[in-house]
Amino acid sequence: MKSAVALILVASLGTGCFPHSSRNRTISEIVEGGVSVSGVVLEGFAQSGADCDMSHAPGAPPVMCKQNASTIGGIGVALILAGLVGFIATISTSEDDNDTPKPIEIKAAPAPTTAAPASAPPPAPAPAPATPEAAPAT
């Protein structure tokens, strides 16, 4: 049983390094999810020390039952943690979809105008009003 758990742990943690293959990452995520779920199921069926105390006759030490319950509980927790750690390793080593940097566009900025705007020539002076001609004196 311990060798099967070790094999599952190695498969869970060893398959997390597929940064270039989305198919292999998907398989790895499914395996790691299965490892976590199997740990939860194992914990659900594991007996606790209280169950061992209730199931044995009074006076008989339930030592073997408590040891088995402790071992199975430890294996269940190890499976849950291995699945979670493997899943995190798989997700963190994957390539980002937007991993390529955006190209830098260099555009010339318009030159600032430091000279005063060209002034229009002053308007031509208005013609002087016509003065009545002086009448000849008689």
What is the pLDDT, as a whole number, of residue 89? Answer: 83
Residues 56, 47 contacting (CB under 8 angstroms): no
What is the pLDDT, as a whole number, of residue 60? Answer: 62
Kindly report the number of other CB atoms within 10 A of residue 132's CB atom.
5
Compute the distance between CA of residue 70 and CA of residue 68 in angstroms, rounded to an integer: 5
- Nearest residue to 80 (alpha-carbon basis) of 114, 41, 39: 39
> What is the pTM for the complete model shown?
0.54
CA distances from 1 to 4, 7, 81 (A): 5, 10, 18
Q: Which two tokens stand for residue 26?
A: 């998907």
Give the residue, 50 or 32, on which the prediction is more confident: 32
Q: What is the pLDDT of residues 8-47, one digit of tens each?
A: 656 655 555 666 777 888 888 888 889 899 999 988 888 7
